[in-house]
Amino acid sequence: MIGVSVRDGRMIVTLDRQEKANALTSGMLGDLVQRVEEARMDSDVTALVLTGAGKTFSAGADLDEVRDGDLAVSPLWERLSGAIAGCPCLTIAALNGSLAGGAMGMALACDIRLSVPSARFFYPAMKLGVLPQPSDPGRLTALVGPARA
pLDDT in tens, 72-105: 889 999 999 999 999 999 999 999 999 998 899 9
Does the pLDDT value for residue 149 go beyond 80?
A: no
The answer to the question of residue 102 being in a domain is yes
Q: Find the mean pLDDT for residues 61-70.
A: 86
pLDDT on residue 85: 97
Q: Decide which of 14 and 124 is more confident.
A: 14
* Domain span holding position 129: 2-144
The CATH number that applies at residue 85 is: 3.90.226.10
Domain total for the chain? 1
132: left (phi over 0), alpha (psi -120 to 50) or beta: beta
- pTM of the predicted model as reported, rounded to 2 decimal places: 0.92
In a domain, 149, yes or no: no
